[in-house]
A and B are shown apart, each in its own frame.
Chain A
Amino acid sequence: MSGSDIALALAVFLACAVEAVEALTIVLAVGTTRDWPSAFGGVGAAALALAVVCAALGPALTTLPISALRLVVGGLLLVFGLQWLRKAILRAAGYKALRDEAAEFSLESKAAVAAGGLAGHGRFDAYSFTVSFKGVLLEGLEVAFIVVTFGANQHRVPLAAAAAGAAIAVVVAAGFAVRAPLARVPENAMKFVVGVLLTSFGTFWGAEGAGAHWPGGDAALAVLVPAVLLVAMGFVAALRRSVVEVRA
């Protein structure tokens, strides 16, 4: 397995794990307060919709010529990566609140109870189905996109899908083991790493797709990833200083 393959698997695993933790919180909230079978129905329907998206998008992408694929995928991964990275930088610097799964669980549970109209035992509950469906679909869509684009560009879609499947399995198993939202998962650190990897690969492939040649070829990635990490950490340090100055 090459360095690029390891980075691909790591980025997909972490991105998928983070989104799965967030989706698990939503499903747990409606499942425990309302109706588990309907909540599971929503999860299944969303998983099916995501599979359809992957099945449609994957083959469409692989028909593109390699330079066009790299340009499109590089640009999209870079836009996504910068979204993940800038939010992670703001959270790490104290400019944006860290996501609190326990608080999200409490909020979702209260909303589920307040929604009322709970169906009787064994009856289909539309609220549980819809909230679970939307939660899993919205959290999963970005991961599905990362799996397809990242995987297609390296011709390793099965590896990307396996990394995503492993992340979901780990999160679901942990969720069932603790029967509570996974509040202790270091979500921001994971999002930081995903942001760095997507930004680095997006930069690399985008430039290659646009016709530029990196010094050292693929080996340039080994410099690019730590360089992006250092720049991001530099921004965190600078922002933290400005937070301290404002408070002083």
Chain B
Amino acid sequence: MTRVRDIGAAVWDFVVGDDWVTAAGVVVALAVTAATKAWWIMPLAVVALLGFYLWRVVRDRE
């Protein structure tokens, strides 16, 4: 059981990395794109997710 949990944690760390918010944001953006078929949602999401992550880093530093 511990081994399965370790493998799961390793896969999570490999795919999601240190910020699950960004990974979740990508999934939401893809879902909204699938629903609306609007190409501009993904670039907008990239800028927003990158900016939001960096803003949190700066906020935590201060």
Contacts and interface: CB of A to CB of B under 8 A. Distances in A.
B15 to A, nearest CB: 7
B16 interface: yes
B33 A235 contact: no
B46 A89 contact: no
A190 interface: no
A215 B26 CA distance: 21
Interface size class of A (residues with CB under 8 A): 35 or more
Nearest to B46: A203
Interface string B9-52: 00000111111001100110111011001110111001101110
A102 interface: no
B interface: dominant SS = helix
A206 B30 contact: yes
A78 B30 CA distance: 11
A75 interface: yes
Contacts of B57: 90, 95
Nearest to B62: A246
A79 B16 contact: yes
B42 A142 contact: no
Nearest to A236: B54
Contacts of B1: none
A227 B43 CA distance: 9
23 contacts: A71-B30, A75-B27, A78-B46, A79-B17, A79-B23, A82-B50, A83-B17, A83-B22, A86-B53, A90-B54, A90-B57, A95-B58, A141-B14, A199-B46, A204-B42, A210-B33, A210-B37, A210-B42, A212-B33, A212-B38, A232-B50, A235-B50, A239-B54
Given A212-B33, A213-B39, 20 more contacts: A75-B27, A75-B30, A78-B42, A79-B16, A79-B22, A83-B19, A83-B22, A86-B53, A90-B54, A141-B14, A199-B46, A203-B46, A210-B33, A211-B37, A212-B37, A212-B38, A212-B39, A212-B41, A235-B51, A239-B58
8 A-B pairs with the lowest CB-CB distances in the bound complex, closest first: A210-B33, A210-B34, A212-B39, A207-B42, A83-B17, A203-B42, A211-B37, A79-B23
